[in-house]
Amino acid sequence: MAEAAAKSDFQELIESVEALPLDDREILMDIINRRIIEQRREELVADMEESLQAYRKGEVRIGTVDDLLRDLNNLFSMRPFRLSLKRHFHLS
């Protein structure tokens, strides 16, 4: 029921925006786009800060793509991991 109400609210919002003059809709779009850009920027900064903290704690390793592929290959070839995959994906 809440989903239906949300759709109804969303539809009302769309209809309200469509009722605005074209110039006002363009201004609204500009405002929304700028806010989305700012939110993405804030998310990026938070991700970068988290990565930097992990690096400072020594939780991050630096290497080449070949190093990454080798590590992944080693991870997938580990017996406990293979057993875990078998259990979750019914592999033989």
DSSP conformation letters of 33-73: HHHHHHHHHHHHHHHHHHHHHHHHTT------HHHHHHHHH
3-state helix, strand, coil in the chain (%, to 5): 85, 0, 15
- pLDDT over threshold 50, residue 92: no
Tens-digit pLDDT profile for residues 10-58: 999 999 999 999 999 999 999 999 999 999 999 999 999 999 999 899 8
Q: Where are the domains of the chain?
A: 1-60, 62-92
**Least confident range of 6-10, 40-44, 79-83:** 79-83
C-alpha dihedral (44, 54, 71, 64), degrees to nearest 10: 60
* pLDDT number for residue 62: 82
Most confident of 23-32, 56-65, 73-82: 23-32
Locus of tokens 């900064």: 45
Which residue, among 64, 62, 42, has the nearest Cα to 54 in the 3D structure? 62
